[in-house]
């Protein structure tokens, strides 16, 4: 049985007089892909900010590997909604940025990153600049920059939300294949229910603000997955249940 890596225990958070999180409890096991879906303003990104240390809970506890997060030594690699590549740095030097911030010199960072360019579909584009790449290629570069840091867990905040529908589907398929090969422990925030079903092992659904866990679902689809799997009765049932939960969470 997998070990629990991350636990949020009765997390509550308000901004001024506005309550945002109302007793959020969830967990993630090692090597799982877990997704949180919920309406806009429900506090999904607030949860990520707490994990990265950019914000703190008013009450409750976050634990990693059975220790309080603050003392666990856990580190998270974060991939934001947009690729956030530096336009003046070539793709190779964008990919090394997190390693350089962590203290590696540029030559050492480049040596660590270069072997991954083929795996990420970026071979031959090392010296190109972000403006010369497609949206999908920029997102792959951003993911490479994220995972090469070898952190304890990956956090994704709507990473494909700015892409067109075809490119988004291609990136979802690509990320699913990459995750199947590497089994990263990953937490995804998304509004896209089909994306959540396609990528996830488990899904938590938040209610509108102040957010609580309205429901959770285990996704029984086999891996590796294809979009044909979304046509199965199991996938359609889960997708419908999530949409019903979102529509009626506070009714």
CA distance 84 to 225: 29
- CA dist 244 to 82, 167, 238, Å? 29, 27, 10
**pLDDT averaged over consecutive 10-residue blocks of the chain (251 residues)?**
81 93 94 92 89 90 90 82 88 92 90 90 93 90 86 88 84 86 90 93 94 94 89 93 86 55
Amino acid 224: pLDDT: 86
Amino acid 2: pLDDT: 54
CATH code assigned at 30: 3.40.50.300
What are the beta bridge partners of residue 15? 18
Residue 245, φ and ψ in degrees, nearest 5? -65, -45
* Number of domains within the chain: 1
Task: Give the DSSP per-residue string, 104-171.
Answer: --HHHHHHHHGGGTTTTT-TT-TT--GGGS-HHHHHHHHHHHHHTT--SEEEEESTTTTS-HHHHHHH
- In which domain, by residue range, is 224 found? 4-248
Task: Kindly provide the b/e burial profile for residues 62-82, where b requires at least 16 CB atoms within 10 angstroms of the residue's own CB.
Answer: bbbeeeebeebebebbbbeeb
- CA dist 94 to 54, 133, 150, 155, 244, Å? 23, 13, 16, 18, 41
Cβ–Cβ < 8 Å for 215, 245? yes
Amino acid 1: pLDDT: 44
């Amino acid at each position: 049985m997998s070990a629990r890596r991350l636990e949020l225990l009765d997390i509550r958070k308000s901004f001024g007089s506005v309550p945002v999180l109302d007793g959020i409890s969830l967990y993630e096991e090692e090597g799982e892909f877990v997704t949180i879906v919920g309406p806009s303003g429900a506090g999904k990104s607030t949860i990520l900010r707490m994990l990265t240390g950019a914000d703190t809970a008013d009450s409750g506890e976050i634990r990693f590997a059975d220790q309080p997060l603050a003392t666990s030594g856990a580190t998270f690699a974060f991939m934001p909604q947009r690729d956030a590549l530096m336009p003046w740095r070539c793709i190779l030097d964008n990919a090394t940025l997190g390693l350089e911030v962590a203290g590696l010199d540029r030559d050492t960072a480049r040596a660590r990153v270069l072997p991954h360019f083929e795996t990420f579909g970026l071979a031959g584009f090392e010296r190109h600049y972000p403006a010369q790449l497609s949206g999908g290629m920029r997102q792959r570069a951003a993911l490479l920059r994220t995972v090469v840091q070898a952190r304890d867990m990956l956090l994704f905040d709507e990473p494909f939300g700015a892409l067109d529908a075809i490119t988004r589907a291609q990136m979802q398929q690509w990320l699913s294949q990459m995750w199947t090969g590497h089994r990263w422990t990953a937490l995804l925030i998304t509004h896209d229910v089909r994306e959540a079903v396609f990528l996830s092992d488990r899904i938590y659904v938040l209610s509108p603000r102040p957010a609580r866990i309205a429901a959770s679902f285990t996704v029984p689809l086999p891996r590796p997955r294809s979009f044909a799997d979304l046509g199965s009765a199991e996938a359609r049932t889960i997708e419908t249940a999530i949409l019903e939960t979102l529509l009626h969470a506070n009714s």
